């Protein structure tokens, strides 16, 4: 093997999709002889998988490069991912970076690693994002309890605040057969939970054509995917990471409600509770549709956890618009919020919109929604006390305590017990801890297949 005995470390920023792709790059490198180590050990090669959503992408990247070189000044630094696609020249100016790889090149990293040490100047390899048509299937490894399975990439939407289509290209999907095959590989590794990931997950099966000459569309959709994955033996639980409300069809909700393995947990981006602001964002739904989706979920799964993304301080968001969002969320039967403060992004439409919100006001609105989120989450936990659920415990021992999640995403705390790791246990949550976690009474262990 050409790289036998060489060491490599990885640092991943951003979303679950990035983690699945980092794991795939790691497997490709290990197959060629690399040994994966922690960055603190001063590896021969350090791979940094970047994110374009992160507000301080440049600063974070510089810090990680500096940390890697402090452990080994001769570390070959490769920067890949979304930020590498969007701002390759910016990254090339970071001292110590050897190679920058865009969206279509990151899985070819082995072709760009020098056998003779560090480069005298940074090499950039990336194509126009409009030329990216291939799909690279990925799934994360290393965690004994769950794996992130990438089934879709790219996005055809043009939300005015978002750079992801510029970083990842057009919507494209894995084949149904390969997605199921990867799920079986995950099951064979002993992992019990899969988290489905993608940029626009509900668009699975659509987007770039199978045959560019005939323009033939794929013949399956997201419902076909969840139905197929529900039958994979060895996987006890499957979560849908995030799905647009306009793509979360009634038949998907209905299937999840009666499925064997899909978790009663949805994360559905809202972004604003004002139809005026949704229009400025170029979102593809109104609040009325969002309300319908939440009502449908709760009607079929009253105990279901529903997470919501929301952006505050978007250009044109008046105090009245924000209050409209607050009231909408307050009245909605949801479980928690992920609150993002709007920040300007190059090459987006929103940066040119009138009505910029003062940064101090953006932060105030963010704080108000985070407080609302904490109240919502505590109420959701209280609603589910003294009811039986199934928890999958993780392997990490944090000061004598282990944690796990129920199917509806209650975080459970329990004294560490190695025998419970990666096991499905029926529990009765019966108390909230000071940290907001749930204490339990263990009822019985479910035999693991």
Map residue 90 onto helix, strand or coil.
helix
- N-term to C-term CA, the chain: 37
* Tens-level pLDDT at each residue, the chain (449 residues): 678 889 999 999 888 888 899 999 999 999 999 999 998 999 999 999 998 776 677 788 889 999 999 999 999 999 998 988 988 998 999 999 999 998 889 999 999 997 767 888 899 998 777 777 788 889 987 667 899 999 999 999 999 999 989 989 899 999 999 999 999 999 999 999 999 999 999 999 865 454 545 445 567 899 999 999 999 999 999 999 999 999 999 999 999 999 999 999 999 999 999 999 999 999 999 999 999 999 999 999 999 999 999 999 999 999 999 999 999 999 999 999 999 999 999 899 999 999 999 999 999 999 999 999 999 999 999 999 989 999 999 988 988 988 999 999 999 988 899 999 998 999 888 888 766 667 666 555 544 43
In terms of Cα–Cα distance, which of 326, 308, 311, 325 is closest to 269?
308
Cβ–Cβ < 8 Å for 48, 67 = no
For CATH 3.80.30.20, the residue range(s) in the chain are 138-381
Crossing angle between the packed helical segments 222-229 and 250-258, to the nearest 10 degrees = 10
Instruction: Look at residue 126 in the predicted model and tell me its pLDDT.
Output: 83
For residue 18, count other CB atoms closer than 10 A to its CB: 22
Q: Within 332-386, where are the H helices?
A: 359-383
Residue 353 burial (C-beta neighbours within 10 Å; 0-12, 13-18, 19+): middle
Spell out the residues 6+ positions from residue 420 whose beta carbon is closer than 8 angstroms to its own.
Answer: 393, 402, 414, 442, 445
For CATH 2.40.50, the residue range(s) in the chain are 389-446
For residue 81, count other CB atoms closer than 10 A to its CB: 29
Give the C-alpha separation, 447 to 266, whole Å: 26
For residue 354, count other CB atoms closer than 10 A to its CB: 7
Map residue 386 onto helix, strand or coil.
coil
- DSSP annotation of 44: S
CATH architecture label of 389-446: Beta Barrel (2.40)
Structure tokens, 323? 């209050």
Crossing angle between the packed helical segments 287-300 and 250-258, to the nearest 10 degrees = 20
Instruction: Look at residue 447 in the predicted model and tell me its pLDDT.
Output: 42
Instruction: Look at residue 448 in the predicted model and tell me its pLDDT.
Output: 41
Give the C-alpha separation, 414 to 393, whole Å: 9
Instruction: Look at residue 325 in the predicted model and tell me its pLDDT.
Output: 98
For residue 317, count other CB atoms closer than 10 A to its CB: 26
Could you identify the residue written with the tokens 């319908």? 292
CATH class assigned to 138-381? alpha beta
Largest Cα–Cα separation, the chain? 64
Instruction: Look at residue 207 in the predicted model and tell me its pLDDT.
Output: 53
Give CATH for domain 7-127.
3.40.50.12160
For CATH 3.40.50.12160, the residue range(s) in the chain are 7-127
Give the C-alpha separation, 226 to 233, whole Å: 14
In angstroms, the Cα distances linking 238 to 260, 307, 413 are 9, 16, 21
Instruction: Look at residue 117 in the predicted model and tell me its pLDDT.
Output: 77
Instruction: Look at residue 377 in the predicted model and tell me its pLDDT.
Output: 94
DSSP-derived pairing of the beta strands 411-415 and 401-406: antiparallel
Crossing angle between the packed helical segments 222-229 and 176-188, to the nearest 10 degrees = 30
Crossing angle between the packed helical segments 359-383 and 319-331, to the nearest 10 degrees = 10
Q: What is the pTM of this model?
A: 0.89
Looking at the chain, the number of H-run helices and the number of E-run strands are 12, 20
């Amino acid at each position: 093997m050409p790289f036998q005995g060489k060491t490599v470390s990885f640092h991943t920023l951003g979303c679950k999709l990035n983690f699945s792709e980092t794991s795939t790059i790691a497997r490709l490198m290990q197959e060629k002889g690399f040994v994966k180590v922690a960055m603190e050990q001063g590896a021969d090669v350090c791979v940094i998988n970047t994110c374009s959503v992160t507000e301080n992408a440049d600063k974070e990247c510089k810090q990680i490069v500096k940390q890697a070189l402090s452990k080994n000044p001769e570390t070959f630094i490769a920067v890949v991912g979304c930020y590498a696609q969007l701002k390759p020249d910016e990254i090339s100016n970071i001292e110590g970076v050897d190679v920058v790889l865009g969206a279509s090149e990151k899985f070819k990293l082995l072709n760009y690693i020098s056998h003779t040490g560090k480069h005298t100047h940074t090499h950039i390899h990336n194509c126009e994002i409009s030329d990216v048509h291939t799909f690279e299937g990925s799934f994360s490894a290393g965690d004994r309890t769950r794996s992130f399975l990438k089934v879709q990439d790219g996005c055809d939407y043009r939300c005015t605040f978002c750079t992801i289509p510029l970083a990842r290209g057009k919507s494209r999907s894995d084949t149904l057969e390969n997605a199921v095959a990867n799920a079986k590989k995950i099951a064979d590794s002993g992992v019990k939970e899969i988290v489905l990931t993608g940029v626009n997950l509900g668009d699975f099966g659509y987007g770039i054509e199978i045959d560019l000459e005939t323009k033939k569309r794929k013949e399956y959709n997201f419902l076909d995917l969840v139905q197929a994955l529900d039958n994979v033996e060895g996987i006890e639980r499957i979560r849908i990471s995030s799905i647009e409300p306009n793509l979360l069809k009634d038949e998907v909700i209905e299937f999840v409600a009666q499925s064997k393995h899909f978790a009663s947990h949805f994360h559905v981006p809202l972004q604003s509770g004002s139809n005026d602001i949704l229009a400025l964002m170029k979102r593809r739904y109104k609040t009325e549709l969002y309300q319908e989706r939440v009502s449908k979920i709760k009607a079929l799964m009253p105990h279901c956890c529903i997470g919501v993304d929301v952006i505050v301080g978007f250009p044109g968001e008046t105090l009245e618009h924000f209050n409209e969002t607050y009231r909408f969320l307050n009245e909605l039967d949801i479980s928690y919020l992920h609150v993002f403060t709007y920040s300007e992004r190059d090459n987006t439409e929103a940066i040119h919109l009138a009505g910029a919100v003062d940064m101090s006001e953006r932060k105030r609105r963010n704080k108000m929604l985070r407080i609302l989120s904490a109240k919502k989450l505590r109420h959701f936990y209280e609603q589910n006390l003294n009811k039986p659920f199934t928890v999958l415990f993780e392997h990490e021992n944090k000061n004598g305590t282990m944690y796990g999640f129920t199917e509806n995403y209650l975080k459970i705390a329990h004294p560490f017990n190695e025998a419970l790791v990666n096991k499905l246990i029926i529990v009765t949550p019966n108390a909230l801890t000071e940290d907001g976690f749930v204490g339990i009474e263990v009822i019985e262990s479910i035999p693991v297949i």
